[in-house]
Amino acid sequence: MGFTQGVRSQRSSRLFLLVACLMVPSSVPLAAQVPPPLESVPEPLVFAGSDDYPPFQWHDDNGMPKGFVIDLQEAIAHQQGLKAEHRLMAWDQAVEAVEAGEADVVALFVSEEREERFDFTSPIYHVAHGIYALSPDSIQKDPSDLSGMRVAVVEGSYAQNRLRENPSGGELRPQEDIRSALLAVAEGRADLALVAAHTARHVIGQSSLDIHQVSRPFWPKAYAFAVRQGRDDLHAWLEEQVGLLQANGTYFEIHADWLSELEWQPPTWRDNLRTLAWIALPLLVLGGGGYLWSWSLRRQVTRKTRLLSRELESRRSLQGELEYRLKHHMLTGLFNRSAFISKLDGLVEADPDWSPTIALIQLVNLEQLITAFSYQVALELQRAFGRLLEAQDFLLVGHFGSGLFAIATSKPLEGNDIVVRLTEPLNLGSLDLDPVYVVGIVNEASLEEDDGADELIRRGILAVAMARDAHRRWVIYSTDLEPDIDDLLLLQDFHRHGTRDMFLEYQPQLEIETGRVRAAEALIRWQHPTLGLISPGRFIPMLEQAGLTHWITRWVIEEASEMLRRTALVASGFRVSINLAPQDLMEPDLVDFIAQSLAATMPARSLWLEITETGFIHDPSRIRDVLSDLHVAGARISVDDFGTGYASLSYMSEFPVDEVKLDRTFVGDMLTNDRHYLIVRSTIALAHELGLTVTAEGVEDEETLQALVAMNCNNVQGFYLSRPLREESLLAFLDRDMAEMLSGATHSKE
């Protein structure tokens, strides 16, 4: 706007003082008020006025008279106890009404022309003009220089007359009234409007026009009450009332009420605030949005935090649960393997001088319990056994699953002691059961520097396995139990090279009746590149464990068949005995292979199959079928190592077997061991009764041979006759005359 706040305030108050001074009539003493003769004043006092001249007088929306002048008229009547009547109408009619005596008073701008027709009181107000425009900055603010401007004025107004008389360079655009003049500016038909300020301000406010007063007020014009000439009494009375109104302060109260509409309000701190508000509004909107955003963020954060803390809580409990599960076996609640090991490590660390003793205890009849009773019973037994262990004074108790438990004790353990302590019927609800278990004990283990408790467990498990394998209640660990590390190397090599370094030896068997060697047992050898010659007693059980013997068996059959053909021994009715691992009979492919080999490459009965007694125990009906098939295919079956197992000869004879091979443990010492002597003699007799031939193994001397001949044993095999031989040696051996060897025996038989 170009004015400072201070200058504006000064001007505003100066204008007001001017107005106030002009209002005070010089002829009226302020102190002593003399009321005029009331009879000369009409009752009611009729004020005429414009119905559209805000803020001085107009009809409001309800048709009620309203305005600064109306309030003054009302106050004048009121202070004398009179009634006022306000008749608002078109401006010219109002003037006419007073002239015609139809109304008493009208408020008018004072002018020379009007002073001829009316008597005016002292001015009740001064009305100024102002320039109004769209953009405050681009507009000429001086009414004396409006060159180049299209100037809207009210047709017939004081402003139009004055501009016509004193042209200021502007192009006048007369309009019907102040509102139209302002609209012309708003709609771009005029650059500015030069109109009476009070009404302009009122219209702008009412119609919310974006139009501003861009000049200071100028051309003040006195506004006063007028009465028709000739009504001097009324004029004098009215003049006095106006003075009184000012003197008693009513005028100022009314003026204050209308101040905002009457006067040009130079921008005040409020306006500045408004301007600031307009500038600040977008910022506030942004800020408010920001605040809302941050508020919603905060809410989200609060919600998320709540969720998170709930999540954390459930995680904590889950973690607790998980930690428990990580350390305990769910069935018994005892420490699991890793927890047991770390607890044991802790104990050893706490007391480095302590040589820990542990035992592993394996329940061995769980499978039987499951098949005989139920899985549930097996679980219950483990639970009850766990409770029994917990009830003892062991340092630690663990449950590794599958019926394997572990304990740690402060003192060395006696196997028998454990068995006594842990053998009591366990109550499983509906039934009582004795736990059946084997124990592996590791007493006062001396551990290497980097060995932890897991090494103890490993030793314990080895001892348990040994106990189980050997059908013993307990085994105490010693380094002797450790498997040969070469076994692993052998296994790897077998995987890599198969039978590449293997060969067969043949141990001759002497047929006593004919005095001829007409058979041999094929025995496998492994010439290992680094470990040297390895006996089958070492590697066969290992390969058996690994389920790999069927490869050996195939190879032995092929090799032996090849030998028989190569040496033409097959033609002379020579036979070779092949050793089969019990599990070989469970390999359908292998059984087929044997049957095919018999049919394709050999005359019937040239291949005998040796199967150890234990091979007949498991799944006997299946074994019987397999053996029958092989028998039909031409194979002859020997029961190897007879006497070492638990099977009776009558049981064996139920299978399609042809021969019994007496184990060398009986034969070897039969002359010094009466029991063995009796077993050998009765076995030979019974076998013959059952239609089986007998081969005695492990004959190491002439006396034994003679004894066996005396017992009518059919064949003998042993070092006395010959050690196992390579193929060439066997052929050479067969050329020898056996008569001499047998002469003594034959002699004693006679």
Give whichever of 2 and 537 is closer to Ca ion, judged by the CB atom: 537
Give whichever of 119 and 640 is closer to Ca ion, judged by the CB atom: 640
Among 178, 476, 540, 716, binds ligand C2E (CB under 6 A): 540
Strands 432-433 and 426-427: antiparallel
Strands 659-662 and 636-642: parallel
* 451 phi and psi angles, rounded to 5 deg: -80, 135
Query: Which of ligand C2E, Ca ion, none has residue 718 at its interface (CB below 5 to 8 Å by kind)?
Result: ligand C2E
Stretch that binds ligand C2E, among 46-54, 312-320, 680-688, 696-704 (CB under 6 A): 696-704
- 183: Cβ contacts below 8 Å, ≥ 6 apart: 175, 209
Task: Quote the CA–CA distance of 611 and 626 in Å, as a whole number.
Answer: 12
Stretch that binds ligand C2E, among 98-106, 232-240, 307-315, 578-586 (CB under 6 A): 578-586
Do residues 638 and 610 touch, judged by C-beta distance below 8 A?
yes
Measure the CA angle with vertex 602, ends 599 and 606; round to 5°.
115
Q: At what angle do helices 197-207 and 250-262 cross, to 10 degrees?
A: 60
Give whichever of 234 and 504 is closer to Ca ion, judged by the CB atom: 504
| Residues in contact with Ca ion, shown as a per-residue x/- string from 548 to 587 under the rule CB under 5 A | -------------------------------x--------
Task: Quote the CA–CA distance of 456 and 402 in Å, as a whole number.
Answer: 19
The reply to whether 704 sits near ligand C2E by the rule CB under 6 A is no
Query: Which of ligand C2E, Ca ion, none has residue 549 at its interface (CB below 5 to 8 Å by kind)?
Result: ligand C2E
- Map the footprint of ligand C2E across residues 461-520, applying CB under 6 A: 507
| Residues in contact with ligand C2E, shown as a per-residue x/- string from 626 to 645 under the rule CB under 6 A | --------------xx----
Nearest to 57, CA basis, from 105, 23, 89, 32:
89
Q: Is the dihedral of CA 513, 519, 523, 525 positive or negative?
A: positive
Do residues 118 and 227 touch, judged by C-beta distance below 8 A?
yes
Give whichever of 48 and 607 is closer to ligand C2E, judged by the CB atom: 607
Residue 614 is given by DSSP the state: G
Please give the order of strands across the beta sheet that includes 65-66: 52-53, 57-59, 65-66
Give whichever of 329 and 575 is closer to ligand C2E, judged by the CB atom: 575
Tell how far CA 203 is from the center of its chain. 68
Least Å distance between CB 462 and ligand C2E?
Answer: 24
Least Å distance between CB 695 and Ca ion?
Answer: 9
Least Å distance between CB 744 and ligand C2E?
Answer: 18
* 505 phi and psi angles, rounded to 5 deg: -120, 155
- Map the footprint of Ca ion across residues 240-299, applying CB under 5 A: none
Site size for ligand C2E (CB under 6 A):
25
Stretch that binds Ca ion, among 301-309, 427-435, 539-547, 636-644 (CB under 5 A): 636-644
Query: Which of Ca ion, ligand C2E, none has residue 507 at its interface (CB below 5 to 8 Å by kind)?
Result: ligand C2E
Task: Quote the CA–CA distance of 715 and 724 in Å, as a whole number.
Answer: 16
Least Å distance between CB 500 and ligand C2E?
Answer: 16
Q: How many residues in the chain?
A: 750
Residue 192: how many CB atoms within 10 A of its CB?
29
Among 239, 263, 640, 659, binds Ca ion (CB under 5 A): 640
The reply to whether 700 sits near ligand C2E by the rule CB under 6 A is yes
Task: Quote the CA–CA distance of 213 and 182 in Å, as a whole number.
Answer: 11
* 669 phi and psi angles, rounded to 5 deg: -120, 25
The reply to whether 641 sits near Ca ion by the rule CB under 5 A is yes
Give whichever of 9 and 614 is closer to ligand C2E, judged by the CB atom: 614
Give whichever of 428 and 699 is closer to ligand C2E, judged by the CB atom: 699
Task: Quote the CA–CA distance of 693 and 657 in Å, as a whole number.
Answer: 10
The reply to whether 615 sits near ligand C2E by the rule CB under 6 A is no
Binding site for Ca ion (CB under 5 A): 579, 610, 640-641, 697
Binding site for ligand C2E (CB under 6 A): 507, 522-524, 535-537, 540, 549, 552, 556, 579-581, 610, 640-641, 664, 698-700, 717-719, 724
